[in-house]
Amino acid sequence: MATIYIGIGSNIGNREENCRKAIKLIKENGIAVKKESSMHETEPWGVKDQPKFINMAIEIETNKKPEDLLGILKNIENQMGRTESVKWGQRIIDLDILLYDDLILETPHLEIPHPFMHEREFVLRPLVEIAPDKKHPVIGKTIKEMLSVLNN
């Protein structure tokens, strides 16, 4: 079983309910959700002229390969009504694989660990609640350490 961390975000409609529904759909796909962070309201990143986000993180366990897990997450996004729009634009739901055990993977469709996670407080703040001592396999710092670097 792999231990994987997923970032969840929403800034359209009932943001909290969208996050809860995404977690429910992840469970319905046979994936064990082990931990959930609290929900954090955050400023948009990249494209500033849009509503605030609700962001959270979850820890899951599954035997699914990274590409198969990505397919499930994309299907959930589509099922919930996400459509492709402007990069970093508003969205009903966003599901990102942040960490997958200590795997380092780069394909045309998937990069693990998530390439921007160490730069984004909206990713690290919820993640530090559920995995403060988890080390980034490339950077070598814990989630707690990466968040403290951002806050200085």
As a whole number of angstroms, the distance between CA 3 and CA 40 comes to: 23
- Among 45, 56, 50, 42, smallest CA distance to 8 is for 56
User: Active site residue: 94, 101, 120, 125, which one?
Assistant: 94
96 is catalytic: yes
- What letter would DSSP give residue 119? G
User: Active site residue: 15, 20, 96, 120, which one?
Assistant: 96
As a whole number of angstroms, the distance between CA 89 and CA 129 comes to: 26
82 is catalytic: yes
As a whole number of angstroms, the distance between CA 57 and CA 36 comes to: 6
User: Active site residue: 15, 20, 82, 101, which one?
Assistant: 82
120 is catalytic: no
User: Active site residue: 15, 91, 120, 125, which one?
Assistant: 91
Mind telling me the catalytic residues?
82, 91, 94, 96
